[in-house]
Amino acid sequence: MKKILFSIVALAFTTHVLAQTNAELRALIQESFQYQPKLQELSKASEIGEIRVGMAESGYLPVISGNASYSYIDPVGETKFPVSATETRTIQFQPNNNYNVNVGLNQVIWDFGRTQAQIEKAKVDLLVTKQNTEAAKLQLATQVVNIYYSLVYLKKAVILQDSVIASYTKNRTLIENKLKQGDALKVDLSNIDNTIHQELNRKVDFQRQYDRQQALLQYTTGRTAELSGVEFDFQFASTTEFSAVANPDLIAADQRITASSADFKLAQRNRMPSLNFQASAGMRNGYQPDIDEFRFNYLAGVTLSIPIFQGGRIRQNVSLARKSMELSEISKQNLNATLLKDWQSANADLCAYNEQLKNAMIQIETAQEAQRLTQVRYDRGVATSVDLVFATTNLQRSQLNQLQYQYQACLANAELARVEGRKFWE
């Protein structure tokens, strides 16, 4: 088979650089951020978290309310006083119809850190929500990378199949001419036809997979246009030692521990008393000597509230918060172990694919030379059509293997970037 249109991509594994992506891939990732409802949902959750922080901070502010009440009381306290030898007068101490209109104020003076604990919990919950958004972005970006380079791989595979089919078609013409001259058998023509149809089916399978990945890309990013990328150009050099301090999942796990600690602190603060200041001013009736007349009045005072018994709910909340904190710590340990396993696996894969790429290049050179010699021998009537098909198949297999190793090495790079939490789309 003649020269096949296929480029060898140099993958940089030793230089310590940040993850690099091409402009088209970066644009796709940004489009997926705007297109996916999941990220929009998390963004709204962050907005809600900011509102909750404001609500918690409002606990330091006074509560001012307008109040109006009416009540009818019967009987009411009254007494009779003699005003003459024959006449008595009834004095009523409280009216039957009671009206009260006032503006009241309630201000927390001291709650032993309960409000501050609520603020800290709301702030940490907001940070957890934001980190969840970052983690979702990283997962989505990695998914887009996988789809993108799957399309590159399948596009290259289809091009390779076209080249292979063209080579077999050319050889079929040679066999056909030799058959007319009596230098070949009909079975040779049947064999080459069968091989061509096998390669056509393989091309159809690659095209099917390409169309499926194109549909997945549209689902992920909303883009329907064909991509222009044709190279495995995702470059990332991992550190020599495991480091996932920038991974948003791990950061979120740390913040969940902090959130659980804030929950625990808040549950403990609910055991403490609170000191409140109350004041009100308004108009009401019921004052002597005319109990039906509305008069201005005001009230000011302090209230100390001490929890004594609440059915064990406070103690249960403290125990629940403590268990949640322990669970968050265990979850972080499990996540860290999982990330370490993924990092080690991706590194092992990358080293293996790098070695296999070196071997594949040697195999391709050898297979190309073997195929060239076999083609010459066949043209001169020394080799058979079986020898020619065998040599061509070996070359095709070597080129497909090289293509797969490049593709898998590219995905291993993307996995390392994900584990280490690199924002390769920026």
Report if residue 4 sits inside a domain: no
pLDDT greater than 80 at residue 69: yes
Per-residue pLDDT band for 150 (boundaries 50, 70, 90) equals very high
Q: What is the mean pLDDT of residues 183-192?
A: 82
Q: Using an 8 Å Cβ cutoff, are 92 and 76 in contact?
A: yes
**129-139 pLDDT tens trace:** 999 999 999 99
Q: Which residue has the higher pLDDT, 180 or 34?
A: 34
Report if residue 28 sits inside a domain: yes
pTM of this structure: 0.78
- CA nearest neighbour of 378 among 239, 174, 112: 174
- CA nearest neighbour of 412 among 346, 352, 364, 360: 346
Per-residue pLDDT band for 330 (boundaries 50, 70, 90) equals very high
Report if residue 291 sits inside a domain: no
Q: What is the mean pLDDT of residues 79-103?
A: 85
**287-304 pLDDT tens trace:** 888 888 999 999 999 999
Residue 14 confidence (pLDDT): 33
Q: Which residue has the higher pLDDT, 408 or 187?
A: 408
Q: Using an 8 Å Cβ cutoff, are 246 and 416 in contact?
A: no
Q: Which residue has the higher pLDDT, 111 or 333?
A: 333
Residue 7 confidence (pLDDT): 36
pLDDT greater than 60 at residue 395: yes
Residues of the chain with pLDDT > 70, as a percent, come to 95
Tell me how many domains the chain contains.
1
Cα torsion 312, 315, 321, 322: sign:
negative
Report if residue 278 sits inside a domain: no
End-to-end Cα, the chain, rounded Å: 43
Q: What is the mean pLDDT of residues 168-174?
A: 85
DSSP 95-133: -SEEEEEEEEEEEEEE-TTHHHHHHHHHHHHHHHHHHHH
Considering only the C-alpha atoms of the chain, give the largest distance between any 2 of them, rounded to a whole number of Å. Answer: 158
Report if residue 18 sits inside a domain: no
pLDDT greater than 70 at residue 159: yes
Report if residue 72 sits inside a domain: no
Report if residue 31 sits inside a domain: yes
CA torsion 346→351→353→358, rounded to 10°? 170
Q: Which residue has the higher pLDDT, 370 or 235?
A: 370
Crossing angle of the two packed helices 23-35 and 114-181, in degrees rounded to 10: 130
**369-384 pLDDT tens trace:** 998 998 888 888 888 8
b/e burial code for range 399-411 (CB count within 10 A of at least 16 → b): bbbbbebbbbbbb
Residue 393 confidence (pLDDT): 86
Distance CA(69)–CA(252), nearest Å, equals 50
Q: Cβ contacts of residue 368 below 8 Å, gap of 6+? A: 395
pLDDT greater than 70 at residue 408: yes
**What is the residue-averaged pLDDT of the chain?**
87
**17-31 pLDDT tens trace:** 455 678 999 999 999
pLDDT greater than 50 at residue 9: no
Q: What is the mean pLDDT of residues 334-346?
A: 93
Residues of the chain with pLDDT > 90, as a percent, come to 50
Residue 89 confidence (pLDDT): 79
Residue 238 confidence (pLDDT): 64
Q: Using an 8 Å Cβ cutoff, are 256 and 129 in contact?
A: no
Task: Estimate to the nearest angstrom the gap between the alpha carbon of 230 and the chain centroid.
Answer: 28
Q: Which residue has the higher pLDDT, 215 or 314?
A: 215
Distance CA(215)–CA(198), nearest Å, equals 26
Report if residue 70 sits inside a domain: no
Q: Using an 8 Å Cβ cutoff, are 188 and 384 in contact?
A: yes
CATH number, residue 35? 1.20.1600.10
Per-residue pLDDT band for 254 (boundaries 50, 70, 90) equals very high
Crossing angle of the two packed helices 313-379 and 114-181, in degrees rounded to 10: 20
Residue 206 confidence (pLDDT): 94
Q: Which domain holds residue 53?
A: 23-63+109-273+323-419
